[in-house]
Structure 1
């Protein structure tokens, strides 16, 4: 028995030592796993934050670019009509400056000899603002520009801020003037960049092409190349600022990127090391390169990292305690000589769900020129209607003299022109918005339109047409071909007014997979200096009393909406407009192939979309549907994996950003993807975004379930039109 006890004791000692060694090995392994997991998680978190910062920099850059374009468009719209006097220019500019206060420091109007014709100073510091306006007057060239353009900027050493200059050529009578507007770049920062919050500690700054900081939350860095050029290196390490120089050079070499930067911050007059996560992208403001940079201190991520470490240490401690208890129990069982049956193993697992942190804010939605034109036209109509009624009443008054009747006729003619301008504005703003593309025969539509054009063609013009006998099918909108031909032929009539040979010719041919529609005239042609601008809205060579400059812009937008292209060839012997449209055969096989191209669908939902109902619709189908309650997750996936989704369906009401802004970002990342916007009801404001390609379809939530059933059943082609007509 003693021998047995002795052997048991020896066995117990060996088992105890073995157990301690195994426990030490297990602990080392666990700490190694903790360390590797921590490093992996840190890298993932940093990479995720870099991607988010890059998205923020892109969006801020787009918003700033669009905001400046909107201000230039506002100036152009303000002076779209002929100016009768300097007093009228002064009044318009005074209203413009007051409406955007305090964005503008003021403006100056100079003649061709740089003599000041008008000067308006805004803001509280009249003296300083006046100096900056005069500086712009001396700096800006007086080359004629009929659309407002950004030309140069000036840095004030005393104020530590930049002034941006916008100029526009104005005509009063036969005399030309140049209006120069001084824009406060600090106010642009306050309106566009400052509201963007990046985890409460990050910030955004903007550099110009010379790598000089123009906008920054720390004013002492404006006008410099950065922190390392403002503060003296007092760290004792001559290479302390090397990484900041590396970051600056990196920004010069690539269009956009991100990295971790070893920087410094000033604390109690001492330089303290600080790691930063930075991301930047470049944009072009009127051919000048600007760099938008978003940075975030690394210590902001200490919260999630601390939580991660605490959780893993807690797990390690639990495992360690369990190991000690298990070892003690085993040793106690061996010492007492009791039977060891089995030790029950304890399995514990913890699932960690890390929701993607998204800092994309709800930026300013850029107002489009079309929407603005629509608003102006509606207000214009409200003012015109009573005037037209009064003129009609006065024309029927027999007590008015013949001379006054002639004046009334002139007033009536001017009102008709104003009414036509309003109609053109509405046509430009609407452009058949919201209409669905339908399958149609282009030959049939063109033949009908040609008959109308032929009846309207003056007798002094020889009309010719050549329409193919082949059926040409494509996706378009009923009446659009008639609209196109009437606009182009009306311009042709005017162009041939003084021509010796007057011939108008319309042809339609099918070439391979294209339909080619052309309109030719023998008029005076289009000068080379204006041919590049004829499709611009409001650009006209006929004068404000004969044209609005919207006809060709509307025509080109209609052609583009049908998936086509439009070219113009002109000489002193005439002009030819050539439109090419993709031909489509609406066969069952084509329907199925287009649907089959969609393999994966992303649905960004809110509380109003019934996910259970959608899951039931797709049950048993070959489509893979993924659901997201936040748009950042979808944007991140599309950034990393091109062609990952064939379709994205988004609700309008989403956290941090709406559905229109979400689909706009997705369209930029993946131009060919099919994008569907859903809302509780049809909203007319969305039609402009639809026509300009931000998304492919706008439907209500109720219609969504019906369309998805159609997609699954393949009974008929679902109405998800693409830019090429699909």
Structure 2
């Protein structure tokens, strides 16, 4: 027996029993009153008295029945109202877009999340075939409907839907069907979740995996090249000993210098790709910038750009930092600047710094395209990128921000007045490093020394 049939049976049974109870009470009361007050009445008076009793009993019974029915109706209406409120609350607070369709694929219901996902309001779609909205192909829905009619309880799939703006949206669908109690027809329940962020993160994970593989390949290549470069230097040294006064000795010196540069470059590549634990040590900032300039300058030259290093004022200045993390930090910043430079070449990136207010301020400034003002607040968020698809992971500046924070410093990015951007990094200065610095640097750092 269905719940509705059970409720209907209970209602009529309760009404009948309550009416019988009312009649029993009325007749019992009447008998007591008749025996007490109407014993001496004649037949005619008793006749009218019984007629009056019947009419009064009927009116009382009718009033009771009307009151009972109205009371039950109010209770039913209140339950329906609460049920509808729960129904609307469930639809409104569902995490996914919920759409109800009849067997002709006409929209029966449409929740706010569906409006957010597809761009159509509820009033615009109720009563309309889903195919007329252009969300999806009719054949896809008919295929899903056929699978459900064959007894498949739930159909899950990933597909694309076109929103009101004409943009394709990646969605994950979960579809099921049930029989409508009122009409007896099949109703299709579709729940759709937005997969765009999930797919974006999946693509970023794949890009990170590719970057990891490329790093391993680069480390292997560098290790392979390191051995023949060492052999070349050894042979050059032997030739120099044998041809010390020969006319080719100058050429050998040049060849040795170029080979040593290649060897140092390969060693830097090995150091950069080798995983290491964080180890805070005394680090010469000027020497670090020199090393970075030497390592990255060929990369800039290949793309016809210039990498300048203005670090004369940082000679002998030290900070407490992990060298490998500092190299990774500036590698991310320099590659971002390189990607921001025009493809035609003749761009410039300046790597420099100064000492002020007891801190070492390092900067990377480029002459690139800059960053839109509305994107600056999100520039250090993970996976946020201003580059074209396939050109960046959106992790470089986020990693740089984390490294600077771990070293007790600060980092900021701002557009230049003319063109490009400048990234400024402030790191705490080691006070005892000022003694070995240049006079200009000692003067700039004097306030910190006095306070410490």
Task: Give the TM-score range, shorter chain.
Answer: 0.3 to 0.5
* Higher-helix-fraction structure: 2
Task: Using structure 2 for the length normalisation, give the TM-score.
Answer: 0.38
Task: Using structure 1 for the length normalisation, give the TM-score.
Answer: 0.24
Q: Which has the larger radius of gyration?
A: 2
